[in-house]
Amino acid sequence: MNDQLELEFEHVTKSFTGDRVVVNNLSFSVKKGEFFSFLGPSGCGKTTCLRMISGLERPSQGLIKMSGKVVNDIHPHKRNVHTVFQKYALFPHLNVFENVAFGLKMKKRPPAEVKERVERMLRMVSLQDYTRRSIQQLSGGEQQRVALVRALVNEPAILLLDEPLAALDLKLREQMHRELSSLQKQLGTTFIFVTHDQGEALTLSDRVAIMNAGNIEQIGTPTEVYEQPASTFVARFVGTTNVFSGPASHATIGGGGSGVAVATDGFGTLFAKQDEAKPRPATGDNVGLVVRPEKIRIRVTAPAGSGHGGLGTQSSTSSAPAPASAVTPANGASAATAVPTDAPIPSGHTVNVLRGTLIERIYFGPTTQIKLQISDRLPPIIALVANQTATKMPSLKMGDRYYAVWDAADSILVSSSQPTASQST
Amino acid sequence: MFKRRPVLVAYAGFLLFFLYFPLLVLSISSFRGGPTFYHWYRRAFSDPQLLLALRNSIAIGLGTTVFSTLLGTLAALGMRKEQFWGRVFFESLLNLPLVLPEIVMGLAMLVWFVFLNITLGLFSVVLAHTTFTVSYVTLIILARLKGMDPLLEEAAADLGATPWRTFSRVTLPLLLPAVVSGALLAFTLSFDDFLITFFTAGVGSDTLPLRIYSMMRFGVTPEMNAISSAMLFLTLGAVLTVFRLRKD
């Protein structure tokens, strides 16, 4: 089973001078042929991880294994790992052909083979007519492609990509996404990708590791990290999110199954369905309750029925005293998968209802993002409305009061404190 | 802009005139007064003593260039590392020859050579010249190294280059403009030097500047104009090349 693993980290820690721990006791593994991404804010340790894989940094503690062999002490030039650097790091004194041929020449391949392989790779990225050009004559996108094939022509076991698309404009970036995906499938090479762009990580990867301050907060498929974030950090970093927190208690919710009631500060008690696969939080535990903007429905009138959470059915909402930390919607770029729903909530399901004033409306084209101010002291609730729905509700006006309604089953329970130990797959 | 500042323009004009007019006069008069415009050059370059001095100057210049470029490149490569023990000390030491009075350097060298029993001659001059030109070479190469993206060398290692091949295929080619301009500067400095050469040359190894100085005692001749102008053109050419290279 182990020969399926391309790369393993075992309790890897990296600290630089001054005891600054950049990577803290990481353990995880990457399968052969996988497209694996490190996603996190700048300074979270993702680039350091990459540099340890390429051999440019040595771990302070722990083991790094490739195909089962420990590689801690192997010099970068002896590893079958090549990197596409953030700023490309193309050699300015060599032309396009010589740049791409560099690795093969270092391996002392015969000139005929070098020529054949370099030209084949350049053809693959439509740069076959550029062989004699100097690097300075290329556009950003062309340089990016040269950097990519300069690494790939050596047929590495692992290709490392350090935010290689950060310098490109949106359109070029989307084109490179498609090229990267098809190249990876075509070659079957293990890709390890570092990015701070969550949309990029979700679109490209088989699995994503979300990093924060030297730790891995969660490893999972794009769907898992979006739909079932392990912590409030992950929920905030991946997509736009409403995050509530407070002590948990047991509750029965409509629609079957057991639930959890979270007594939030300022938003009343909100309900979530308990995922049977996950450990149930003990009563009084501080938990986070996450709801994605596209799961929230906007209503003009209060929904009928019983078993409501939230404040919407109460007459007074502005009197609720609350620290501002009770809800902190994170505002990242919305994930590509986020399509709002307006299907009716199945009858009998427990719903959460909040009522607030429409204070912001941002038109995205297919969707509109709106913000409802529940109380002056609390951050607003973010909801995403499909514009098909919006046209059905021409009365959606700034300053009017609306109900934000969501199914308790769409609330995601996460640990509110950030985990200190790393998780492994 | 110039119209509004007549005083400034007059001042700059006077300064430039004062500094460069003598050079102009020198080079013009070197072409005049003979049957052909190159007459004095021909006379100068057929004087056996001047020719010997020229040969000495070129030999010393080349020797100094080789030594100081080699040492300067190695020193710069050693000094580029972020931190090492005694870094500040070495850096100050490197800058010292730039500010030290040449007469002190020359005298110190002479005393040292006598103490070590080194025969004064071409070789001792090369040693003395190397001690101060190496500073210039090191500083020029160090500046280029500091401006170089360290990622390029990491990329080479990443692509399978051994440390030696990383140096020979990436670091050195990228450094080459600085190495060449350092070498040219070393040659020019050595070729022009008078004071340090005066102290360390000994008998019978006159360089061009020394020879011109001793000829001066019998008055300025048109041949001296010619040989000085030739030195001027050579130096100008070298300096212009250095500027061209450093711009890249």
CB–CB contact B174 A102 (8 Å): no
Q: Which of A16, A91, A105, A114 to mutate to test the interface with B (most CBs of B within 10 A)?
A: A91
Residue pairs between chains A and B whose CB atoms are closer than 8 Å? 61
For chain B, say whether A89 makes contact (Cβ under 8 Å): yes
What is the predicted pLDDT for the residue at A252? Answer: 75
CB–CB contact A102 B156 (8 Å): yes
What is the predicted pLDDT for the residue at B235? Answer: 84
CA of A19: how far to CAs of A15, A80, A388, in Å? Answer: 6, 31, 55
CB–CB contact B159 A91 (8 Å): no
- Whole-prediction pTM: 0.76
pLDDT at A319 over 60: no
What is the predicted pLDDT for the residue at B193? Answer: 92
Give the chain B residue whose CA is nearest to the CA of A92: B174
Label each residue of B55-74 as H, E or C: HHHHHHHHHHHHHHHHHHHH
pLDDT at B197 over 90: yes
Q: Which of A75, A87, A154 sits opposite B159 (nearest CB)?
A: A154
CB–CB contact A102 B169 (8 Å): yes
pLDDT at A387 over 80: no
CB–CB contact A102 B157 (8 Å): no
What digits encode the pLDDT tens for the residues A61-110? 999 999 989 999 999 989 999 999 988 899 999 999 999 999 999 999 99
Whole-number average pLDDT of chain A: 82
Q: Which helix (H) or strand (E) segment is B140 a member of?
A: helix B122-146
Show residues of chain A in contact with B152, CB under 8 Å: 89, 91-92
pLDDT at A320 over 50: no
CB–CB contact A106 B161 (8 Å): yes
Q: How many whole angstroms separate alpha carbon A257 and alpha carbon A81?
A: 49
pLDDT at A327 over 50: no
Q: How confident is the model at residue A306 (pLDDT cuts 50, 70, 90)?
A: very low
Lowest mean pLDDT across A49-53, A247-251, B78-82: B78-82
For chain B, say whether A101 makes contact (Cβ under 8 Å): no
CB–CB contact A83 B158 (8 Å): yes
CB–CB contact B160 A103 (8 Å): yes
What digits encode the pLDDT tens for the residues A177-231? 888 888 888 888 999 999 988 888 888 999 999 999 889 999 999 999 988 888 8
The larger pLDDT score, comparing residue A414 to residue A332, is at: A414
Average pLDDT over residues A125-147: 89
From B151's Cα to the closest Cα of chain A, the distance in A is 6
CB–CB contact A56 B170 (8 Å): no
What is the predicted pLDDT for the residue at A323? Answer: 31
What digits encode the pLDDT tens for the residues B157-194? 999 999 999 999 999 999 999 999 999 999 999 998 99
Show residues of chain A in contact with B151, CB under 8 Å: 85, 87, 89
Q: Which of B158, B169, B170 to mutate to test the interface with A (most CBs of A within 10 A)?
A: B158
CB–CB contact B154 A56 (8 Å): yes
Show residues of chain A in contact with B175, CB under 8 Å: none
Q: What domains lie within chain B, and their CATH numbers?
A: 41-247 (1.10.3720.10)
Torsion angles phi and psi, residue B35, rounded to 5: -65, -35
Torsion angles phi and psi, residue A354, rounded to 5: -130, 145
Q: How many CA atoms lie within 13 A of B145 on its CB side?
A: 21
Q: Which of B82, B151, B159 to mutate to test the interface with A (most CBs of A within 10 A)?
A: B159
What is the predicted pLDDT for the residue at B36? Answer: 84
